[in-house]
Amino acid sequence: MKRRTLLSLAPLALGSPGAWAQAYPAKPIRLLVPFPAGGATDLFARAVSQRLGDKLGQPLVVENRPGAGGALGSDLAAKAPADGYTLLLTTSSTHSIGPSVSTRLPYDPVRDFTPIVHLGDAPSIMLVPNSSPARTVAEWIALAKAKPGQLNYASSGIGTIVQLTAELFKSQAGVFVVHIPYKGTALAIPDLASGKLDVLFDSLPTGLPHVRDGRLRALGVTSAKRTPLAPELPAIAEVLPGFESNTWFGLYGPRGLPPDVVSRVNQAANEVLAEPDLKARLAKLGIDTAGGTPAQFARMVAQDAAKWKRIVVERKITTE
């Protein structure tokens, strides 16, 4: 009888996957953000982490680990124990673009991570100086075609999504525009406003205020369709069919994260992303909430990475 009792208790002592995942999380979860505090990704992480922690019953403690364009923090997450207590909030920079512009990443974006959920998307905005003769996307393309090599665009640096968005635009529009890299788009805004620059594809949350205060003119947004974040602006895709560029935000775990833990976090994240007040809060940051399954997230990242790799190869872009 004693032997049978011990045998019946053995699975509980060892912890079956279902029982273990049901107890998860039993302590605070570290949420690595591979970008500096105060930036768009950090603000997004803090907005989502608070609600997600409430839903999971344990706090998500945001830990900023910036460096190497997000590679440092991402690598730290990849090498963390696959127990669900270290998660990574990242963007297209580390998992779609980075692998294409650099061969020196210390991690593999597919092999070394477990996708959990697509959290949101932030489109960019096409900005021109008020002195520009172009008032629509079509007019700007016509202007660039009439002056090949005479117009320029600014970016936040080589290999950034700002540059790649402009190069995607150039590729689809069939125009030749000179690249002028800056150390951040904030440094390019004064030159754009003064007319020294001809166009900038800035993130919606940082670019739109300059339009609304009359400093710059917006021609369109880079989302596939018009966005409720700026409903007055047309999508560039209305002129260039299929054009789309978004900075996506997603949640990953290290490779080998238990499926039950992935399911638990995914379900909680989807519930949080559906909350109207969080949607409204993120909209003020220029972000559309997403959601969905881990498989859908993985497919989206794969498609996004393939698109940017094609542009990187075509335009011979590298950070090395």
pLDDT digits (tens, 9 = 90+) for 157-209: 999 999 999 999 999 999 999 999 998 899 999 999 999 999 999 989 889 99
What pLDDT is stored for residue 173 in this prediction?
Answer: 98
What pLDDT is stored for residue 18 in this prediction?
Answer: 44
Q: Give 75-104 pLDDT, tens digit per residue.
A: 999 999 999 999 999 999 999 999 999 888
Q: Which residue has the higher pLDDT, 14 or 154?
A: 154
Sequence-separated contacts (24+) of 228-233 with Cβ below 8 Å: 228/283, 228/288, 229/123, 229/204, 229/283, 229/286, 229/287, 229/288, 230/125, 230/204, 233/125
Owner of token pair 């700026």? 230
Question: Are the C-beta atoms of 25 and 253 separated by less than 8 Å?
Answer: no
Question: Are the C-beta atoms of 57 and 27 separated by less than 8 Å?
Answer: no
Cis peptide before 25 (omega within 30 of 0): yes
Q: Determine the Cα–Cα distance for residues 2 and 6; give it in Å rounded to an integer.
A: 6
pLDDT at residue 133 tops 60: yes
Q: Give 228-285 pLDDT, tens digit per residue.
A: 889 999 999 999 999 999 999 999 999 999 999 999 999 999 999 999 999 999 998 8
Instruction: Give the mean model confidence (pLDDT) for residues 61-71.
Output: 93
Question: Are the C-beta atoms of 34 and 105 separated by less than 8 Å?
Answer: no
Q: Give 264-275 pLDDT, tens digit per residue.
A: 999 999 999 999
